[in-house]
Amino acid sequence: MLGQIAYALPFLAQGFAVTLWVSLLVVVLSLVAGVMMGVGLVYGPAPLRWAVRIFSDTIRGIPILVLIFFVYYGLPAVGIHLESFWAAVLALTLFKTAQVIEYLRGAVGSIPKGQSEAAMAIGLTFRQRLAYVIFPQAFRRFLPPWINGVTDAVKGSALVSLLGITDLMHAINQVIGRTYEAMPLYILGAVIYFAVNYALSLASRRLERRFSFIRE
Amino acid sequence: MSVTPPANPALLDVSEVSKSFGSVEVLRSVSLQVTRGEVVTVIGPSGSGKTTLLRCVNFLESYDSGSIRIDGKEVGFRETGTRQRRSERDLAKMRAETGMVFQSFNLFPHLTAAGNIMLGLRKVRGKSNTEARAIAEHWLGRVGLAHKADSLPAELSGGQQQRVGIARAVAMEPKILLLDEITSALDPELVGEVLEVVRSLAEDGMTMLMVTHEMAFARDASSRIVFMADGGVSAVGPPAEMLAAEFDNERLRSFLARFRASHF
């Protein structure tokens, strides 16, 4: 039994690499898109605020699985054909972006208005105010929910296996299909997912402590 | 209109400024001039528009009509006659010409005392790190906090925080300093140290427009006192006249009477 699993390890490692690659893409893309849209939601003109609000509320109201199938099977109907890999990345990114928007709104919204005003009063431009006054303070509040979201993204990436992408989950299922060793392989999978996420939580806690000197 | 400017133009010229929040008129055609080196104190009951007026001067608040000029330049709107709001970049430049000290200090909690002062010097005035640090240390020395340069705001008392707030504002070499009830959030025993700093700035000739409830300080330190009521300027004059019991303004007299009753 262990021999069979050992034999399958390189295959599982490839799946694990895909899981990490999907997670990384989703986390980075959603961070960039979410922060930009979140800034639009907090500071933008009314039409932009509405657009972001509708986007966020809609996406967050749809189960992620539905979103994945919608992007992969639904979008071709309107002429958008995506490879399964990119369809999955897009769907997960949309989902995560909506969450990042809300984390950002919460974090930035928690900074007292006087901070922006003091920054304005010394003549900082909008971008400078964000970069040097608002974001450094909001970061500490943004971080914990965001890292939580990152671990969700790693776990949620297992859903891409449903589009036939050979990530860790799919690889495990395939090995089980050949070896019929379900229990040890699922435990192995669980341990790998746990190890990644636990490492992330530890990193998060260190970062939070690093920024805890900021008191109001 | 005359082309040549008047001989002694006002540094700050607020002219018939009105502003409403919804249906509430908070400023009613307010006019007020401050000349270079003057210290003008605005007093009045809460809700009379004092703070709003101050916030309009550096355009933290917009106003509906009238004009506010600093050194002849309209603060918030382009000078095209169309009343178009200035661009974000222009507004930032204009705001750098005025300094503001806030009731709630509003120090940046993630930066040290020196860091608070250096931020504007570096990013707005384009000073190098070394230059900015030297200026910050100079001003921290002026407000008696040379030894606190590397302390975070949370490690300072209220009075110390406010003195850093003043240093942060004046280090930018503003044309005019706006002080918005800067001692109202302080414990009584800390008020004196902050007012002392303001007094020394006044002696240096810093032009100031301040809102305060410290009547004794207003009387001693101001060149003129402006009394606001219901969003308008109700009376203006030298402190000795304005605060005298027989001054010919019923509202001012009753304001001062109520004020004295509640403070002594």
What's the pLDDT tens digit per position in B13-58?
999 999 999 888 999 999 999 999 999 999 998 888 999 999 999 9
Spatial separation of the C-alpha atoms in residues A31 and A135, rounded to whole Å: 14
Spatial separation of the C-alpha atoms in residues A64 and A67, rounded to whole Å: 5
Question: Which of chain B's residues have a Cβ under 8 Å away from the Cβ of A215?
Answer: 109, 152, 154
Q: Identify the band that residue B7 occupies on the pLDDT scale cut at 50, 70 and 90.
A: low
**Domains identified in chain A and CATH numbers:** 2-210 (1.10.3720.10)
Residue A206: alpha-carbon gap to chain centroid: 20
The answer on pLDDT for B4 being more than 60 is no
Question: Which of chain A's residues have a Cβ under 8 Å away from the Cβ of B171?
Answer: none
Q: Identify the band that residue B174 occupies on the pLDDT scale cut at 50, 70 and 90.
A: very high
Report A:150-179 residues touching B (Cβ under 8 A): none
- Produce one character per residue of A139-158: b if its CB has 16 or more CB atoms within 10 Å, e if not: bbbbbbbbbbbbbbbbbbbb
Interface residue of A43, A111, A122 to substitute, partner B, most B CBs within 10 Å: A122
The angle subtended at Cα A118 by Cα B23 and Cα B102, nearest 5°, is: 75
Which ipTM score applies to this complex? 0.90
State which residue of chain A sits closest to B173, comparing Cα positions: A122
The answer on pLDDT for B5 being more than 60 is no
What mean pLDDT value characterizes chain B? Answer: 90
What is the per-residue DSSP string for B88-140? HHHHHHHHTTEEEE-TT----TTS-HHHHHHHHHHHTS---HHHHHHHHHHHH
Q: What pTM did the predictor assign?
A: 0.85
State which residue of chain A sits closest to B57, comparing Cα positions: A121
Coil, strand or helix at B229: strand
Q: Is some CB atom of chain B closer than 8 A to the CB atom of A6?
A: no
Q: Identify the band that residue B264 occupies on the pLDDT scale cut at 50, 70 and 90.
A: low
Coil, strand or helix at B26: strand
Q: Of B205, B206, B249, B204, whose CA–CA distance to B226 is shortest? A: B249
Q: Residue with structure tokens 């305060």?
A: B212
Q: Is some CB atom of chain B closer than 8 A to the CB atom of A210?
A: no
Using the beta-carbon criterion (under 8 Å), do A117 and B60 form an inter-chain contact?
Answer: yes
Using the beta-carbon criterion (under 8 Å), do B109 and A137 form an inter-chain contact?
Answer: yes
Cβ atoms of A53 and A41 within 8 Å: the answer is yes
% residues pLDDT > 90 (chain B): 66
Instruction: Give, in order, the Cα–Cα distances in Å from B119 to each of A124, B71, B144, B147, B166.
Output: 9, 25, 20, 19, 14
Using the beta-carbon criterion (under 8 Å), do B172 and A137 form an inter-chain contact?
Answer: no
Residues 6 or more apart whose CB falls under 8 angstroms from that of B236 comprise: B32, B224, B225, B226, B227, B242
Q: Of A191, A128, A160, whose CA–CA distance to A23 is shortest? A: A160
Among B58, B60, B110, the residue with its CB nearest the CB of A137 is: B110
Q: Is the dihedral of CA B5, B8, B9, B14 positive or negative?
A: negative
Interface residue of B123, B155, B184 to substitute, partner A, most A CBs within 10 Å: B123
Cβ atoms of A146 and A100 within 8 Å: the answer is yes
Using the beta-carbon criterion (under 8 Å), do A215 and B109 form an inter-chain contact?
Answer: yes
Q: pLDDT higher for B176 or A80?
A: B176
The CA distance from A134 to the nearest CA of chain B, in Å, is 9
Positions in chain A whose pLDDT score sits under 50: 216
Among A115, A132, A213, the residue with its CB nearest the CB of B123 is: A132
Among A122, A125, A214, the residue with its CB nearest the CB of B110 is: A214
CB pairs under 8 A between A and B: 75
Spatial separation of the C-alpha atoms in residues A81 and A75, rounded to whole Å: 7
Q: How does pLDDT run across A46-63, given as a tens digit for each residue?
A: 999 999 999 999 999 999
pLDDT of residue A79: 86
The CA distance from A124 to the nearest CA of chain B, in Å, is 6
Coil, strand or helix at B150: coil
- The kind and range of the H/E element at B255 are helix B250-263
Q: How does pLDDT run across B62-85, given as a tens digit for each residue?
A: 999 999 999 988 988 888 777 888
Q: How does pLDDT run across B83-140, given as a tens digit for each residue?
A: 888 988 999 999 999 999 999 999 999 999 999 999 999 999 999 999 999 999 999 9
Question: Which of chain B's residues have a Cβ under 8 Å away from the Cβ of A133?
Answer: 108, 119
The secondary structure of chain A, three-state, reads CHHHHHHHHHHHHHHHHHHHHHHHHHHHHHHHHHHHHHHHHHHCCHHHHHHHHHHHHHHHCCCHHHHHHHHHHHHHHHCCCCCHHHHHHHHHHHHHHHHHHHHHHHHHHCCCHHHHHHHHHCCCCHHHHHHHHHHHHHHHHHHHHHHHHHHHHHHHHHHHHHHCCCCHHHHHHHHHHHHCCHHHHHHHHHHHHHHHHHHHHHHHHHHHHHCCCCCC
Cβ atoms of B194 and B183 within 8 Å: the answer is yes
Q: Identify the band that residue B1 occupies on the pLDDT scale cut at 50, 70 and 90.
A: very low
Question: Which of chain A's residues have a Cβ under 8 Å away from the Cβ of B168?
Answer: 122
Report A:38-77 residues touching B (Cβ under 8 A): none
Spatial separation of the C-alpha atoms in residues A76 and B157, rounded to whole Å: 64
Q: Identify the band that residue B6 occupies on the pLDDT scale cut at 50, 70 and 90.
A: low
Using the beta-carbon criterion (under 8 Å), do B123 and A128 form an inter-chain contact?
Answer: yes
Question: Which of chain B's residues have a Cβ under 8 Å away from the Cβ of A39?
Answer: none
Question: Which of chain A's residues have a Cβ under 8 Å away from the Cβ of B99?
Answer: 121-122
Spatial separation of the C-alpha atoms in residues A50 and A117, rounded to whole Å: 25
